Amino acid sequence: MFMLCGGTFFARQQTKVAESMSAAGGLQPYMESLEKNFKSASSSEQRLAAAEILAPLKEQIGLYAEAAAIYSSAASLAGVQQIRGQKLLLGSVRCALSYGDVSSADFLLSTAFTSAADTHIKATAKLYALWSWIIKAQNKKELEGPVSVLKTYLDAPDMISVKPALFLTLFHITEEKMWAERLQKEFPDSPEAAVCAGNARLLPAPFWFFSKIKND
Protein backbone atom coordinates (compact mmCIF):
# COMPACT_ATOMS: atom_id res chain seq x y z
CA MET A 1 0.00 0.00 0.00
CA PHE A 2 0.95 3.57 -0.70
CA MET A 3 4.06 2.74 -2.71
CA LEU A 4 5.90 1.32 0.27
CA CYS A 5 6.06 -1.90 2.21
CA GLY A 6 5.99 -2.07 5.97
CA GLY A 7 5.05 -4.31 8.86
CA THR A 8 6.20 -7.63 10.24
CA PHE A 9 4.98 -9.71 7.30
CA PHE A 10 6.95 -7.70 4.78
CA ALA A 11 9.98 -7.66 7.04
CA ARG A 12 9.94 -11.46 7.15
CA GLN A 13 9.34 -11.71 3.41
CA GLN A 14 12.19 -9.33 2.64
CA THR A 15 14.50 -11.32 4.91
CA LYS A 16 13.71 -14.50 2.98
CA VAL A 17 14.20 -12.72 -0.34
CA ALA A 18 17.52 -11.29 0.82
CA GLU A 19 18.70 -14.77 1.83
CA SER A 20 17.63 -16.25 -1.50
CA MET A 21 19.24 -13.38 -3.38
CA SER A 22 22.52 -13.91 -1.55
CA ALA A 23 22.44 -17.62 -2.33
CA ALA A 24 21.81 -16.86 -6.01
CA GLY A 25 24.77 -14.48 -6.22
CA GLY A 26 22.96 -11.14 -6.27
CA LEU A 27 19.83 -9.39 -7.48
CA GLN A 28 20.24 -9.93 -11.21
CA PRO A 29 20.87 -13.70 -11.08
CA TYR A 30 18.05 -14.07 -8.58
CA MET A 31 15.60 -12.17 -10.79
CA GLU A 32 16.66 -14.19 -13.82
CA SER A 33 15.96 -17.37 -11.87
CA LEU A 34 12.55 -16.08 -10.84
CA GLU A 35 11.72 -15.07 -14.40
CA LYS A 36 12.68 -18.53 -15.64
CA ASN A 37 10.44 -20.16 -13.04
CA PHE A 38 7.62 -17.76 -13.80
CA LYS A 39 7.73 -18.51 -17.52
CA SER A 40 8.48 -22.22 -17.55
CA ALA A 41 7.77 -23.86 -14.20
CA SER A 42 5.87 -27.12 -14.59
CA SER A 43 3.01 -26.17 -12.27
CA SER A 44 0.80 -23.10 -12.01
CA GLU A 45 1.53 -22.87 -8.28
CA GLN A 46 5.28 -22.72 -8.92
CA ARG A 47 4.77 -19.98 -11.52
CA LEU A 48 2.53 -18.09 -9.14
CA ALA A 49 5.01 -18.38 -6.26
CA ALA A 50 7.78 -16.98 -8.48
CA ALA A 51 5.55 -14.13 -9.69
CA GLU A 52 4.60 -13.11 -6.16
CA ILE A 53 8.26 -12.41 -5.45
CA LEU A 54 9.30 -11.16 -8.88
CA ALA A 55 6.57 -8.54 -9.31
CA PRO A 56 7.30 -6.66 -6.05
CA LEU A 57 11.04 -6.76 -6.81
CA LYS A 58 10.51 -5.20 -10.22
CA GLU A 59 8.18 -2.65 -8.65
CA GLN A 60 10.75 -1.69 -6.02
CA ILE A 61 13.50 -1.09 -8.60
CA GLY A 62 11.19 1.01 -10.78
CA LEU A 63 10.31 -1.44 -13.57
CA TYR A 64 6.64 -0.59 -13.22
CA ALA A 65 5.34 -1.72 -16.61
CA GLU A 66 7.00 -5.13 -16.25
CA ALA A 67 5.79 -5.45 -12.67
CA ALA A 68 2.23 -4.56 -13.67
CA ALA A 69 2.21 -7.26 -16.35
CA ILE A 70 3.54 -9.88 -13.93
CA TYR A 71 1.05 -8.91 -11.23
CA SER A 72 -1.75 -9.25 -13.78
CA SER A 73 -0.57 -12.65 -15.01
CA ALA A 74 -0.15 -13.85 -11.43
CA ALA A 75 -3.68 -12.70 -10.60
CA SER A 76 -5.00 -14.84 -13.44
CA LEU A 77 -3.10 -17.82 -12.09
CA ALA A 78 -4.48 -17.23 -8.60
CA GLY A 79 -8.01 -16.49 -9.81
CA VAL A 80 -9.15 -12.90 -10.20
CA GLN A 81 -12.21 -13.48 -8.01
CA GLN A 82 -10.13 -14.94 -5.20
CA ILE A 83 -8.62 -12.77 -2.45
CA ARG A 84 -5.09 -13.80 -3.46
CA GLY A 85 -5.75 -12.85 -7.07
CA GLN A 86 -7.39 -9.55 -6.20
CA LYS A 87 -4.44 -8.54 -4.03
CA LEU A 88 -2.18 -9.19 -7.01
CA LEU A 89 -4.47 -7.16 -9.28
CA LEU A 90 -4.17 -4.27 -6.85
CA GLY A 91 -0.41 -4.49 -7.41
CA SER A 92 -1.03 -4.17 -11.15
CA VAL A 93 -3.21 -1.11 -10.56
CA ARG A 94 -0.59 0.47 -8.31
CA CYS A 95 2.16 -0.08 -10.88
CA ALA A 96 0.01 1.26 -13.70
CA LEU A 97 -0.50 4.44 -11.70
CA SER A 98 3.22 4.57 -11.02
CA TYR A 99 4.09 4.84 -14.70
CA GLY A 100 1.13 7.00 -15.67
CA ASP A 101 -1.09 4.39 -17.35
CA VAL A 102 -4.26 5.75 -15.82
CA SER A 103 -6.57 4.14 -18.38
CA SER A 104 -5.40 0.63 -17.50
CA ALA A 105 -5.65 1.37 -13.78
CA ASP A 106 -9.16 2.78 -14.17
CA PHE A 107 -10.28 -0.20 -16.23
CA LEU A 108 -9.17 -2.67 -13.56
CA LEU A 109 -10.64 -0.56 -10.76
CA SER A 110 -14.01 -0.35 -12.51
CA THR A 111 -14.26 -4.02 -13.46
CA ALA A 112 -12.22 -6.24 -11.16
CA PHE A 113 -13.29 -5.18 -7.67
CA THR A 114 -17.03 -4.56 -7.94
CA SER A 115 -17.83 -7.83 -6.18
CA ALA A 116 -14.86 -7.85 -3.78
CA ALA A 117 -15.84 -9.22 -0.38
CA ASP A 118 -12.64 -8.44 1.51
CA THR A 119 -12.86 -5.12 3.36
CA HIS A 120 -9.19 -4.25 2.96
CA ILE A 121 -9.24 -4.99 -0.77
CA LYS A 122 -12.29 -2.78 -1.24
CA ALA A 123 -10.72 0.02 0.80
CA THR A 124 -7.46 -0.17 -1.15
CA ALA A 125 -9.31 -0.13 -4.48
CA LYS A 126 -11.16 3.03 -3.38
CA LEU A 127 -7.87 4.60 -2.32
CA TYR A 128 -6.26 3.79 -5.68
CA ALA A 129 -9.29 5.25 -7.48
CA LEU A 130 -8.64 8.48 -5.59
CA TRP A 131 -4.97 8.39 -6.58
CA SER A 132 -6.07 8.04 -10.21
CA TRP A 133 -8.36 11.05 -9.78
CA ILE A 134 -5.49 13.04 -8.29
CA ILE A 135 -3.19 12.15 -11.20
CA LYS A 136 -5.77 13.43 -13.69
CA ALA A 137 -6.17 16.79 -11.94
CA GLN A 138 -4.77 19.60 -14.08
CA ASN A 139 -4.76 22.33 -11.44
CA LYS A 140 -5.40 22.91 -7.75
CA LYS A 141 -9.06 23.64 -8.36
CA GLU A 142 -9.50 20.12 -9.73
CA LEU A 143 -7.90 18.69 -6.58
CA GLU A 144 -10.73 20.01 -4.43
CA GLY A 145 -12.93 17.02 -5.30
CA PRO A 146 -10.50 14.26 -4.32
CA VAL A 147 -9.38 16.19 -1.23
CA SER A 148 -13.01 16.41 -0.10
CA VAL A 149 -13.50 12.67 -0.61
CA LEU A 150 -10.23 11.90 1.21
CA LYS A 151 -11.49 13.84 4.23
CA THR A 152 -14.82 11.97 4.12
CA TYR A 153 -13.02 8.63 3.98
CA LEU A 154 -11.15 9.46 7.19
CA ASP A 155 -14.41 8.98 9.11
CA ALA A 156 -15.56 5.90 7.19
CA PRO A 157 -15.27 2.66 9.25
CA ASP A 158 -14.68 0.58 6.12
CA MET A 159 -11.59 2.67 5.24
CA ILE A 160 -9.75 2.21 8.55
CA SER A 161 -7.21 -0.21 7.03
CA VAL A 162 -5.93 2.49 4.65
CA LYS A 163 -6.37 5.46 6.98
CA PRO A 164 -2.59 6.07 7.35
CA ALA A 165 -2.34 6.27 3.55
CA LEU A 166 -5.26 8.71 3.47
CA PHE A 167 -3.46 10.98 5.93
CA LEU A 168 -0.20 10.81 4.00
CA THR A 169 -1.97 11.47 0.70
CA LEU A 170 -3.68 14.52 2.18
CA PHE A 171 -0.39 15.77 3.59
CA HIS A 172 1.34 15.28 0.25
CA ILE A 173 -1.17 17.09 -1.93
CA THR A 174 -2.23 19.86 0.49
CA GLU A 175 1.11 20.31 2.30
CA GLU A 176 -0.91 21.02 5.47
CA LYS A 177 1.04 19.87 8.54
CA MET A 178 -2.12 18.99 10.44
CA TRP A 179 -2.46 15.79 8.38
CA ALA A 180 1.08 14.67 9.19
CA GLU A 181 0.50 15.49 12.85
CA ARG A 182 -2.72 13.45 12.98
CA LEU A 183 -1.02 10.57 11.20
CA GLN A 184 1.85 10.52 13.68
CA LYS A 185 -0.55 10.80 16.62
CA GLU A 186 -3.06 8.13 15.50
CA PHE A 187 -0.70 5.71 13.74
CA PRO A 188 2.76 6.37 15.22
CA ASP A 189 4.13 2.94 14.27
CA SER A 190 2.93 2.97 10.65
CA PRO A 191 5.32 3.17 7.67
CA GLU A 192 3.45 6.31 6.58
CA ALA A 193 4.23 8.01 9.91
CA ALA A 194 7.88 7.08 9.44
CA VAL A 195 7.82 8.84 6.07
CA CYS A 196 6.41 12.01 7.62
CA ALA A 197 9.01 11.87 10.38
CA GLY A 198 11.81 11.52 7.84
CA ASN A 199 12.74 8.04 9.09
CA ALA A 200 11.67 6.30 5.90
CA ARG A 201 11.02 7.26 2.32
CA LEU A 202 8.54 6.44 -0.37
CA LEU A 203 9.64 4.12 -3.12
CA PRO A 204 10.78 6.17 -6.14
CA ALA A 205 7.37 6.01 -7.77
CA PRO A 206 6.75 8.56 -10.54
CA PHE A 207 3.15 8.67 -9.30
CA TRP A 208 4.15 11.56 -7.07
CA PHE A 209 5.52 13.54 -9.98
CA PHE A 210 2.30 13.02 -11.91
CA SER A 211 0.18 14.03 -8.93
CA LYS A 212 2.10 17.13 -7.86
CA ILE A 213 0.12 20.17 -8.94
CA LYS A 214 2.08 23.36 -9.34
CA ASN A 215 0.76 26.77 -8.56
CA ASP A 216 -1.51 28.19 -11.26
CA dist., res. 137 & res. 146, Å (int): 9
Residues 6 or more apart in contact with residue 177 via CB below 8 angstroms: 171
Question: Does residue 3 lie in a domain region?
Answer: no
CA dist., res. 57 & res. 200, Å (int): 18
Q: For the residues of 98-165, what is the DSSP string, one character each?
A: HTT-HHHHHHHHHHSSTT---HHHHHHHHHHHHHHHHHH--SGGGGHHHHHHHHHHTT-GGGGGGHHH
**Which has the higher per-residue pLDDT, 148 or 116?**
148
CA dist., res. 107 & res. 214, Å (int): 27
Asked if residue 12 has pLDDT above 90, the reply is no
pLDDT in tens, 54-76: 999 998 888 999 999 999 999 99
Question: Does residue 14 lie in a domain region?
Answer: yes
pLDDT score for 196: 82
pLDDT in tens, 123-133: 999 999 999 99
Give me the number of domains the chain comprises.
1
Question: Does residue 1 lie in a domain region?
Answer: no
pLDDT in tens, 71-103: 999 999 999 999 999 999 999 999 999 888 999
Long-range contacts of residues 112-116, Cβ cutoff 8 Å, at least 24 apart: 112/80, 112/86, 113/86, 113/89, 115/81, 116/86
Question: Does residue 216 lie in a domain region?
Answer: no
Question: Does residue 110 lie in a domain region?
Answer: yes
Question: Does residue 48 lie in a domain region?
Answer: yes
What CATH number should be reported for the domain holding residue 172?
A: 1.25.40
* pTM for the predicted model, two decimal places: 0.84
Domain that holds residue 47: 8-211
CA dist., res. 164 & res. 166, Å (int): 5
The answer to whether residues 17 and 59 touch, using CB atoms and an 8 Å cutoff, is: no
